[in-house]
Amino acid sequence: MPGSSPLYAAIDLGSNSFHMLVVRNVSGAVRAVSRVKRKVKLAQGLDENNLLSEEAIQRGLDCIRLFAEQLKDIPDQNIRIVATATLRLAKNSSDFIQRAEKILEHGIEIISGEEEARTIYHGVVSTSSASGNILVIDIGGASTELIIGEGLNVKVLHSTQMGCVTWLNNFFANDEITEAEYDKAIEASIEILSPLADEYLREGFSTCVGASGTIQSLQEIMISNGESEVVTLEKLLHLKEMTIEAGCFSKLNIAGLSAERLTVFPSGLAILIAIFRILDIKGMTLAGGALREGVIYRMLGDYAPRNIRTRTVDSLITRYQLDREQAERVTKVALNAFDSLKESWGLKDPSSRPVLKWAAMLYEIGLCIEYKKAPKHASYIIDNIEMPGFTNAQKHLLSALLYNERDAFKLDVLKNQSAVPYEEACALARLLRLAIIICVRRSPEAIDGEIKFEMTEHGKLELVTTSNWMDNHYLRATLLKEECQKQQEQGWLMSIREC
């Protein structure tokens, strides 16, 4: 059973980096309080006989010393330390483990590739949201995990012996980046993946997320270059050409690519290109968590993704002292409107309704700073706060909706998010704004059955009210008329009709 302390720690001794995540469990909501990461490059210390060099072992032990002090204040039962591919492969891993355990004063588990894949998947679904089958890709230093699951049910998983560090050593070790080296790295990846591909293709998947440093780097590159966060094969091939043009690592300079990821980026890119090709992936986004988060949620004993999102929002409502009853009224109106219009408006993305719900629940979060610029403050808070259960793309959509909750439309932020198509994001913003106006009286009696959302055959949105409603509710009628004008200025036909 988990200890009484609210602090939990997960340490991941990976092939490229060592990570420590410390979280605080506050009323069921998980909040990161410390993250420590160091590039240890353990896999680079493996020789042809799979023996770790003393130099690599010392790099690892130096990092372990950083972790040891923080663990002293956390109960043993709230700590889990796992080691992955390189320490699975190394014949002298016991030498490293014994020395590391002495420093940490805690046991280390060398987990199997299957256990690693399963834990990564649970870390992803605990910090993300998606319906249907989800494909999770994690490119580590010495292994790559591919998992398909739905909810908490894992359906297909494999851990393969290819990683960005081992592929660097095998194909890019001479400091040159050429087409020929890429071809060899991609072909080697395809050779490993080919026997597995049919199993993944038969199962199928509706969503693909990545959970590794390679995918993190790709997202940072996309953002730095003003592109959508969605990774596509076309973007991967373009980046491949950019790295080939550089010719060598010392000349590699891509906006958004950090110095610490530079040497392993081409090898990780080659693996990902192979995965995209063989599994016919159309697009991929970054997951909110992976192995460390999976370890944490397993210790907590509750990592159902839907529950995690609810807890995250509940925590924000409590922290920022939001009016829950008002939030629930706005949510009720917004979701009723969504359900009435989803067919005629073509609202098909599985993220749309959930994110609209959370936007309605959190729409007053900016008021904790001040009223006049509350939408801007709300957007800033969402962009800069950890939200377990939400992908980065979903956070950006949520931020964009809150920025547009009132006043003039800010369409640029709706264009820049990548969680749903732009037209769908605009539709969600329209519904949120209308729901907020309809609930402006902050009274349950003021919303029940008063207004219906209908589409005319000419594509106009009609708010249908009861007879004399506008005379009897002059404030809301005036605000809705003003909102009609704002939406029509954007080319969205809209009117109010009494019947």
pLDDT band for position 1 (50/70/90)?
very low
How confident is the model at residue 324, as a pLDDT?
96
At 357-372, the pLDDT tens digits run 999 999 999 999 999 9
430-454 average pLDDT score: 87
The answer for residues whose C-beta is within 8 angstroms of residue 342's C-beta and 6 or more apart is 348, 353
Tokens of 474: 């002059």
pLDDT band for position 28 (50/70/90)?
low
26 has a pLDDT exceeding 80: no
Domain borders along the chain are 7-111, 114-291, 305-446
Nearest to 310 by CA among 25, 12, 28, 109: 28
CATH 3.40.50.11290 fits 114-291, yes or no: no
449-475 average pLDDT score: 88
Domain 114-291 and domain 305-446, same fold? Reply is: no
At 283-342, the pLDDT tens digits run 998 887 889 988 988 888 755 555 678 888 988 999 899 999 999 999 999 999 999 999
At 248-277, the pLDDT tens digits run 998 988 998 988 889 999 999 999 999 999
How confident is the model at residue 399, as a pLDDT?
97
How confident is the model at residue 414, as a pLDDT?
95
Q: Cβ(84)–Cβ(111) under 8 Å?
A: yes
pLDDT band for position 228 (50/70/90)?
confident
How confident is the model at residue 277, as a pLDDT?
97
The C-alpha atoms of residue 362 and residue 360 are separated, in whole angstroms, by 5
184 has a pLDDT exceeding 60: yes
Q: Biggest alpha carbon distance in the chain?
A: 85
The C-alpha atoms of residue 8 and residue 411 are separated, in whole angstroms, by 41
How confident is the model at residue 2, as a pLDDT?
47
17 has a pLDDT exceeding 50: yes
pTM of the full predicted structure?
0.76
Tokens of 70: 């923080």
3-state secondary structure (DSSP) of residue 44: helix
How confident is the model at residue 226, as a pLDDT?
76
At 46-96, the pLDDT tens digits run 999 999 999 999 999 999 999 999 999 899 999 999 999 999 999 999 999
In order, the DSSP letters of 330-397 are HHHHHHHHHHHHHHHHT---TTHHHHHHHHHHTTTGGGGT-STTHHHHHHHHHHTS--TT--HHHHHH
How confident is the model at residue 27, as a pLDDT?
61
Q: How far is CA 377 from the centre of its chain?
A: 22
How confident is the model at residue 349, as a pLDDT?
86
pLDDT band for position 130 (50/70/90)?
low
- Whole-number average pLDDT of the chain: 91
At 371-428, the pLDDT tens digits run 999 999 999 999 998 887 787 788 999 999 999 999 999 999 999 888 889 999 999 9
CATH architecture of 305-446: Orthogonal Bundle (1.10)
196-215 average pLDDT score: 93
The C-alpha atoms of residue 195 and residue 172 are separated, in whole angstroms, by 25
Strands 451-455 and 461-465: antiparallel
pLDDT band for position 30 (50/70/90)?
confident
Q: Cβ(420)–Cβ(434) under 8 Å?
A: no
* Phi, psi values for residue 230, rounded to 5°: -70, 125
Q: At how many degrees (to 10) do helices 352-361 and 422-438 cross?
A: 40
Buried-state track 439-471, b at ≥16 Cβ within 10 A, e below 16: bbeeeeeebeebbebeeeeeeebbbebeeebbe
Q: Give, in order, the Cα–Cα distances in Å from 392 to each of 205, 220, 284, 301.
A: 20, 11, 12, 24
How confident is the model at residue 321, as a pLDDT?
94
The C-alpha atoms of residue 132 and residue 119 are separated, in whole angstroms, by 19
The C-alpha atoms of residue 77 and residue 308 are separated, in whole angstroms, by 22
Q: Which fold has domain 7-111?
A: Nucleotidyltransferase; domain 5 (3.30.420)
At 131-156, the pLDDT tens digits run 689 999 999 999 999 999 998 889 99
